[in-house]
Structure 1
Amino acid sequence: MGEENYFKYIPNETLIYVAAACFGVSSIYYSVQVFRFRSWYFIPFLIGCISEAAGYGARRYSSEHVDQIGPYIGQGLLLLLPPAFFSATVYMILKKVILCMDAQEYSKLSIKWLTKIFVAADVFSLFLQAAGGGLQGAKKKNLTSIGQGTTIFGLVVQVVAFTVFLWLTWHFTSAMLKDYNSPAYTCAEKGQERSWKAPWRRCIYAIYASGGLILLRSVYRIVEYAMGHEGYLMVHEAYFYALDTLPMFLTTVVFIVVFPPAVLKKQVELSILNSNAPRPVAV
């Protein structure tokens, strides 16, 4: 082993295996569900799960070579980028809910632009984080500083975009529930018009839950990078597992409990039953 330990601590082997197993199981689950429901918009989410699982595998390798910058940067990137993939799918879930309910008039932003704007912001954020993460492996300190700043900027873009998106989601939901002639009432089971059990609202709550978890993790990462490589958060592994690993795994659990393609399929059936006029809706 060389003199340098890029982790600044000895990574916990047990936690690495547990995290890798958790995301590995999630990857298998979403692989099956994506093909079962032909829900191709969940492919980015699946990629995020695979990246997490691979990231902990790489972290295990890097923990045995703590003096090598290559493995350290590799595992760091694999664990840094998944939320951007998760976010891309969450953006598309809202579009699916709006289309499923035939409720475009209640959205502050037209569905034509909804996913385009936020997915574009997501891709931009992903690019910045990837570029910044790569630069942090440079030997020159000025490039390392640029990489750190670029990563932080990418994370800020992610936080701002997701915050605006959650506000738009809230506005859409509120507008629907205020109008008693909206599909929230006309396409609901009797007695469940305002219930959280209504299929479309379960998807909305899943968006809120996953959004909160992704924001928590992103804010943690911003603070972590702002404090620097020698900062308190960076050199204490417990915070990484509590504020990165756990929120990201819980995000995958949210959509296991509420898998939108399956839930929205039930909403379509309710819409057809109540309207007596079947209409094709892609979920």
Structure 2
Amino acid sequence: MAKTDTQFLYFTYYPKDVYPDVAMALYFLATIVLIVQIIRQKAQLWLYILPVTAFAEGLGYVFRLLCVRNTTFTLYVLMTLFLLLPPNAMALANYKTVGKIMAQSLARPRWFFLRPKFVNWFYFASDILSIALQGTGGGMMTSYKRRDAGKKIVLLGLIVQLFFFACFLATTFYVGSKQAYVVGTGTRSAKRKVLFTIVATTVLLYLRSIYRIVEFADGYGGKIYSAEWAFYAFDTIVILLAFIVYIAVPLGPHFVRGKAVLNEEASPLSTHIEPKD
């Protein structure tokens, strides 16, 4: 089978090889910048989730570039999985951030679903579930016979992800509305910056998930699936913008190793909160 025929069989269009080069370079650059920031800020180690995610995205475009130049089944599978799954880890970083704020503050709501331990495990489990569904479905879609079943599983994973994103945004706005929850030294400015980063990146991930849902619902060979510009506009650029937000308004300075959140505004005598045990 000719190279061009193989390309069209997998992509349903003839992809350009210049775009993966640019995307790969930008994501690897974001990886380096994030690592340097975390080291200089002496940020907590869990924030390395972000550069690892950026690196995984960069690898996705390495596989896309290789697949464009020499389209094979193996390269197509690797490209699909590395471009589909890494953004889930970005969501995990956001979940961890809000969980840290809640755990290190004096306030603890009476409602169990707003308590730090539940928030940490609930959203962590949701992320693992979403990754498992999307990974399984993405792998199945590389087989012609299982493509339809794989598409449905990926769609289910993306819809589950959107639901948990909505729940997480509600939790984040709750944390933002309560003075008992503080960040770093307890200044309002620090809290606004952290919440801006969390909300902005979560909204971008939400938009990317909506695009992916439309893409998979449209089906193999559909107008959205076959539009290369749509992939770069609503996946590549959207996720890159999220990394730019993380770099421009970093989380690291507010989560320094060895320093806990100093809650100066919370009062254990408040009627709407309980002090930690």
Short-chain TM bin: 0.7 to 0.9
Q: Distance in 1 between matches of 2:261 and 2:126?
A: 34
Number of the residue aligned with 1:230: 221
2:90 is matched with which residue: 86, 93, 104? 86
Q: 1:74: Cα distance to partner?
A: 1.3
Gaps of 5+ in 1: 177-181, 276-283
Instruction: Provide Cα deviations, 1:258-280, integer angstroms capped at 9, x if missing partner.
Output: 22121345xx79948999xxxxx
The aligned counterpart of 2:48 is 43
Partner of 1:131: 136
- The partner residue of 1:245 within 233, 236, 245 is 236
Amino acid in the other structure paired with 1:163 = A
Distance 2:130 2:220 in 1: 21
Query: Deviations 1:96-148 (Å, cap 9, x if unpaired)?
Result: 223444343498610011110101110010011111111111132xx111111
Q: Name which of structure 1's ranges 212-221 and 144-153 shifts more when overlaid on structure 2.
A: 144-153
Give CA-to-partner distance per residue, 1:71-95, whole Å, 9 cap, x none. Answer: 1121011000011110011101112
Given the alignment of the two structures, is residue 256 of structure 1 paired with residue 259 of structure 2, yes or no? Answer: no
Identity over the aligned pairs, expressed in percent?
Answer: 28
For 2:123, the equivalent position in structure 1 comes to 118
2:172 is the counterpart of 1:169: yes
Counterpart code for 1:246: I
Cα distance per residue 1:152-197 (max 9 Å; x no partner)? 1111111111110001111221233xxxxx4669x655xxx5xxxx
CA spacing shift, 1:215–1:255, aligned 2, 3 Å? same
Within 1, Cα distance between the matches of 2:260 and 2:132? 40
Are 2:6 and 1:15 equivalent residues in the alignment?
no
CA distance in 1, matches of 2:107, 2:229: 44
Q: Distance in 2 between matches of 1:131 and 1:256?
A: 32
The aligned residue for residue 271 of structure 2 is none
Contact kept, 8 Å, 2:104 with 2:260, in 1: the verdict is no
Unpaired runs of at least 5, structure 2: 267-277
What is the deviation of 1:29?
2.1
Q: 1:145 to 1:183 in 2, by over 3 A?
A: closer
Cα deviation, 1:242-263, whole Å, max 9, x if unaligned, reads 1001110111111111221213
Contact 2:182–2:261, Cα closer than 8 Å, also in 1: no
Q: 1:62 to 1:112 in 2, by over 3 A?
A: same
CA distance 1:188–1:113, shift in 2 (3 Å): closer
Distance 1:97 1:60, change over 3 A: same
Distance in 2 between residues matched to 1:139 and 1:10, nearest whole Å: 19
Give the Cα–Cα distance (whole angstroms) in 1 for the partners of residues 181 and 57 of structure 2.
38
Separation in structure 2 between the aligned mates of residue 115 and residue 274 of structure 1, nearest angstrom: 23
In structure 1, C-alpha distance between the alignment counterparts of 2:92 and 2:186, rounded to whole Å: 28
Alignment check: 8 A CA contact 2:87 2:205 kept: yes
Counterpart Cα distance in 2 of 1:11 and 1:227: 19
CA distance in 2, matches of 1:106, 1:165: 18
TM score, norm. by length of structure 2? 0.84
Alignment-derived partner of residue 190 in structure 2: 199
Using a 3 Å threshold, how does the CA distance of structure 1 residues 272 and 211 change in structure 2: closer, same or farther? closer
Q: Which amino acid aligns with 2:250?
A: F
What RMSD, in angstroms, separates the aligned Cα atoms of the two structures?
2.6
TM-score normalised to structure 1 length: 0.83
Bigger RCO of structures 1 and 2 (CA < 8 A, at least 6 apart): 2
1:155 aligns with 2:146: no
C-alpha distance in 2 between matches for 1:85 and 1:272: 28
> 8 Å contact 1:100–1:264 — kept in the other structure?
no
Distance 2:104 2:243 in 1: 23
Q: Is 2:77 the counterpart of 1:58?
A: no
2:29 aligns with: 25
Deviation string, structure 1 residues 45-92 (Cα, Å, up to 9, x no partner): 2222111100001000000123x2221121011000011110011101
How many aligned residue pairs are there?
258
Check if 1:76 corresponds to 2:80: yes
Aligned partner letter, 1:95: G
